Amino acid sequence: MLTDPHHIALEQVLATHLQPLLDELRLTDLTTFADHVINGREAGMAEIVAAAAELHFAPGFIHYDRDSSLSLDWLERPSVSLGVSIAAARFEARVRLIIRDDHAAIELQHLSKNAPNAGGRAANRAIMERELRHNSFAPRQESERPAPL
């Protein structure tokens, strides 16, 4: 897990915007995820992630990376971990979604910029926020709406 304050701030941005996706994925029973992981049904897992993502994000913005794992430890609740990629115009991110029956979490694993940026860390966060809002179907605030013609 990354402990740099900048990475933690970026994870918080991602967690806020990916909350609808995580909520959708939590509607899927963990036994379904477990069956897909154990039996190597990557195409089925990709369909579950795509179906959940298409309700909240632009097509192709979020996709399953064919990377999943199942945790069935004796002292913890069962969880499934899914690797997904976010492909925006100005950045790409690799994120791990951890889903349990009582909550979900994310871990930012990799972030790369697709466009040069001289603005520093604050600008990176702003770019991520803007790209996530732009590719989301969430209602926009008044200040974000285009002016009428």
Query: For every one of its 149 residues, what pLDDT tens digit does the chain have, with 9 covering 90 and above?
Result: 557 788 888 899 999 999 999 999 999 999 899 999 999 999 999 999 999 999 999 988 999 998 999 998 888 888 999 999 998 888 889 999 999 988 899 999 988 877 655 567 777 788 888 888 888 886 655 555 555 55
Which contiguous run of DSSP H or E holds residue 83? strand 79-87
In a domain, 130, yes or no: yes
Predicted local distance difference test score (pLDDT) of residue 119: 67
Predicted local distance difference test score (pLDDT) of residue 97: 95
DSSP annotation of 10: H
Predicted local distance difference test score (pLDDT) of residue 45: 93
In a domain, 147, yes or no: no
In a domain, 145, yes or no: no
In a domain, 16, yes or no: yes
In a domain, 71, yes or no: yes
Distance CA 18, CA 136 (A): 9
In a domain, 149, yes or no: no
Question: What separation in angstroms does the CA of 15 have from each of 47, 74, 119, 138?
Answer: 22, 28, 23, 15
- Quote the tokens at residue 43: 């195409």
In a domain, 17, yes or no: yes
In a domain, 22, yes or no: yes
Residue in the block written with tokens 């899914």: 82
Query: What's the number of domains the chain is made of?
Result: 1
- Domain ranges, residue 79: 5-135
